[in-house]
Amino acid sequence: MKRLLTMLGATAAGFTGVVALHSAPGKSGSLVRAAPTTTTTAPKPGSPTTTAPASGPGDATAIGPLENYSYGVMSVKVVIANHRIVDLKVQKLQTLDSYSTQLATYAVPMLKAEVLKAQGIRINAITGATYTSEAYAYSIQGALDKLRFK
């Protein structure tokens, strides 16, 4: 009987922890399922995904592949100038719920700063946004591969 009570108490505590982690900030433990959210500035179908601006040698732009991750899909645009990564923009972000959108909104600026500082994808994942971090990095790597950037 004592084991049963301990197991029920641990289960309740675990469930409470999961609900607290997945709740939107400022809301009290209720899970909300929203319709998929899309933020996109993707190119028109048929347009090239890699261009080389006339601004100088080593300048180029590429859009990374659309990466599927547990909470949605993401694609990142990479801008190279003077053989350096100078800008990163989320080209397409489609998430399964509002919490995932909030998480991406929180994590992407930090990931962008790390990629710009490291000049590559050898960065640390954001705690609590591991899948988002991985999708971001994989899409960037795909764009860098298109550009043959080392």
Q: Read off the pLDDT of residues 116-147 as tens digits, 9 standing for 90 and up.
A: 999 999 998 889 999 999 999 999 999 999 99
- Quote the CA–CA distance of 48 and 96 in Å, as a whole number: 28
Higher pLDDT, 8 or 102: 102
CB 65 within 8 Å of CB 10:
no
Nearest Cα to Cα of residue 114 among 124, 106, 103, 100 = 124
For the 35-147 domain, the top CATH level (class) is: alpha beta
Domain boundary assignment for the chain:
35-147
Q: Read off the pLDDT of residues 6-25 as tens digits, 9 standing for 90 and up.
A: 665 566 555 554 444 443 33
